[in-house]
Amino acid sequence: MRKSRIHTQIHGYRARAVALVVAILVATAVAVPAFDDFAPDAADVEIEREELVQFAEALQAVEQIRTDAQEEMQGVIAQSDLETERFNEIHASRVDPNAPDVEVSEGEAGEYELVVEFLIEIEEGAQAHMAEIVLDHGLTVEQFNTIAVAIQSDPELWEEFSEVVQELQG
């Protein structure tokens, strides 16, 4: 019974994720790479105050999407036939070369693979949605990431960013 519910949920989420990606691609007419694919060089980057405002507004929405996706992922794991601790143990053994090997039954392996597939789809949907939000705020994903790196590495820019955030909140 549980597996059929998870299978139904996966197919529903797949359809929504595909529809979201198609809508983004049609709306922007370009392929939007994943957020983490950029390693921007923030050295000698001139960032205008308006870009900081755009960044701050987009960041609020991006953080909400990230939080929602994490909660959704936790829910998927909780609804699976694997306990969260067991899922994490299996996952660590598969992705971390320093983690101890664990014995996994055929049933656990199948459930793990199903959950991971679902988690990847949630992540891909969240990445696409975050990219859409950034674009909606007048920045490219690369600009957004460059600003994020610059803010973290430039104390003066951090101060200016903090002022912008306070203005937006006040």
Distance separating alpha carbons of residues 53 and 74, to the nearest angstrom? 32
- pLDDT at 117 (0 to 100): 97
**Measured distance CA(51)–CA(31) in Å, rounded:** 23
Q: What is the 3-state secondary structure (H, E, C) of the chain?
A: CHHHHHHHHHHHHHHHHHHHHHHHHHHHCCCCCCHHHCCCCCCCCCCCHHHHHHHHHHHHHHHHHHHHHHHHHHHHHHHCCCCHHHHHHHHHHHHCCCCCCCCCCHHHHHHHHHHHHHHHHHHHHHHHHHHHHHHHCCCCHHHHHHHHHHHHHCHHHHHHHHHHHHHHHC
Identify the residue whose tokens are 């693979």.
113
In this prediction, residue 170 carries a pLDDT of 82
Quote the pLDDT of residue 36.
46
Residue 153: its pLDDT value, please?
93
pLDDT of the residue at 43: 55
* Every domain of the chain and the residues it spans: 2-169
Count of other CB atoms within 10 angstroms of residue 61: 16
Model pLDDT, residue 45 = 78
What pLDDT sits at residue 63?
95
The pLDDT averaged over each successive group of 10 residues in the chain (170 residues) is 46 38 31 44 77 96 96 96 95 93 95 96 97 97 95 94 92
* Whole-Å CA distances, 102 to 26, 94, 98, 99, 113: 44, 9, 12, 9, 15
